Amino acid sequence: MQSKFWPDQIIRLIEQLGISHPIIQAPMAGGPSTPELVAAVSNAGGLGSIGAGYLSPEQIEAGIRKVKELTKRPFSVNLFIPEISNTVEPDDKVLKKLEEFSIELGVGPPEVPGPPKYTFEDQLAVILDNDVPVFSFTFGVPEERLMKKLLERGIAVIGTATCVEEGVLLQEAGCTAIVAQGSEAGGHRGTFQATAGTPMIGGLALVPQLVDEVRIPVIASGGIMDGRGIVASLSLGASAVQMGTAFLSCVEAAVPGPWLDSLLSSKDTSTVLTNAFSGKYARGIKNRFIEEMSSLENEIPHYPLQNSLSRPLRNAAKEKGDRDFMSLWAGQGVAMSRKCTAKELIDMLVSESCDVLERLLVP
């Protein structure tokens, strides 16, 4: 993209991150953001991101090593800030429904998981020790002493906000930049501030309000699929965009066939918000599991318990290629998905953005 068009705030952020284009491939935990995807995006001038939220410290280290083999350019690693689940015992009706599905899919009954084998700090230690240029996170704010360690090592730190109040907290914590996650976004809502309720603010309204309130760069996210979405976001005052769904249909992403087919055949009304898979609200393409669990919405145990309970079902569905029980995460722009390589996508995004800018600027 031609920098002559860019306001200073965009240049500042891309220089700080060491990238050529203000385009970040969203971290996508659970498989899609493979080292190949991350490196291809970074090699094409964007910022590739490893979605490491569900990975063990050993897996994170291996992922970082692989990305570094494939690119010499900056990339980011993303983690989930841990939450204390206030649900200890799952609801009987939810368990019964999950058991019915388990029988249908031929997997064992859902089991309440034991204590985790590693902590958030174990995961973060890998990032601190492996010369990672950018760390991003969602679902909360790291403790002050951990933020201090990250910033002391010169790591750029990017947090996720779904409302202005959360953005201000991230700025106060010392973040380098903030992802403004609009309600159009695919995957989990990053909401973490209980007083904010359940913010469902669209990106068009959220980005400028956050830009007005904070001094650090804001990165627009949610429903951005092409050059029009990028230029619109930059016009709202964003310094960059973070795109998830658009990268899911790249050949380097690890997305099982039924999910990919659903991405490529969806329309504007195909996605819904659901807490059925994980106990935390997330946007994905409607399927039987979401529909049949919806009557139990208020009984579903909170994240991460429901996520563990539904995991055997999701894994079995993935193995069998059964879209009815897979979490088909996608944002509201899914119908604009394109099947191509990550480099082709970045090149198209850059050239489309330039075209839109020229059309807007040249009388």
Ligand X SMILES: Cc1cc2nc3c(=O)[nH]c(=O)nc-3n(C[C@H](O)[C@H](O)[C@H](O)COP(=O)(O)O)c2cc1C
Nearest distance in Å: CB 274, ligand X: 13
Q: What is the DSSP letter of 4?
A: G
> Does residue 157 sit in helix, strand or coil?
strand
Among 110, 187, 199, 279, binds ligand X (CB under 6 A): 187
Between 236 and 255, how does the x/- string for binding to ligand X read (CB under 6 A)? Answer: ------xxxxx---------
The CB-of-29 to ligand X minimum distance in angstroms stands at 3
Among 10, 23, 26, 238, binds ligand X (CB under 6 A): 26
Range in contact with ligand X (rule: CB under 6 A) among 13-21, 92-100, 124-132, 217-225: 217-225
- Tell me phi and psi for residue 153, to 5 degrees: -80, 5
Per-residue H/E/C for 227-295: HHHHHHHHHCCCCEEEECHHHHCECCCCCCHHHHHHHHCCCCCCEEEECCCCCCCEEEECCHHHHHHHH
Residue 227 lies near ligand X (rule: CB under 6 A): no
The number of CA neighbours under 13 Å toward the Cβ of 243 is 31
Instruction: Indicate whether 47 belongs to the interface with ligand X (CB under 6 A).
Output: no
307 binds ligand X (CB under 6 A): no
d(CA 127, CA 196): 30
Question: Does 221 help bind ligand X (rule: CB under 6 A)?
Answer: yes
CB of 50 to ligand X, least distance (A): 9
The reply on whether position 29 binds ligand X by CB under 6 A is yes
Rounded to whole angstroms, the Cα distance separating 204 from 103 reads: 44
Q: Is 71 helix (H, G, I), strand (E, B) or coil?
A: coil
Q: Choose between 44 and 349: whose C-beta lies nearer to ligand X.
A: 349
Q: Does 184 bind ligand X (CB under 6 A)?
A: yes
Residue ranges of E strands in the chain: 23-25, 48-51, 75-80, 134-138, 156-161, 177-181, 187-188, 218-221, 240-243, 271-274, 282-285
Question: Does residue 53 belong to the site contacting ligand X (CB under 6 A)?
Answer: yes
Q: Which is nearer to ligand X, 102 or 221 (CB)?
A: 221
Residues in contact with ligand X, shown as a per-residue x/- string from 192 to 211 under the rule CB under 6 A: --------------------
Instruction: Please give the distance of CA 140 from its chain centroid, rounded to a whole number.
Output: 14
Residues 316-355 that bind ligand X (CB under 6 A): 329-331, 333
In the range 246-305, which residues lie near ligand X by CB under 6 A?
Answer: 246
Are β-strands 271-274 and 156-161 bridged in parallel, bridged antiparallel, or unpaired? unpaired
Question: 291: how many CB neighbours lie within 10 A of its CB?
Answer: 13
Residues that bind ligand X (CB under 6 A): 26-29, 32, 51, 53, 78, 138, 160, 181, 184-187, 221-224, 242-246, 329-331, 333
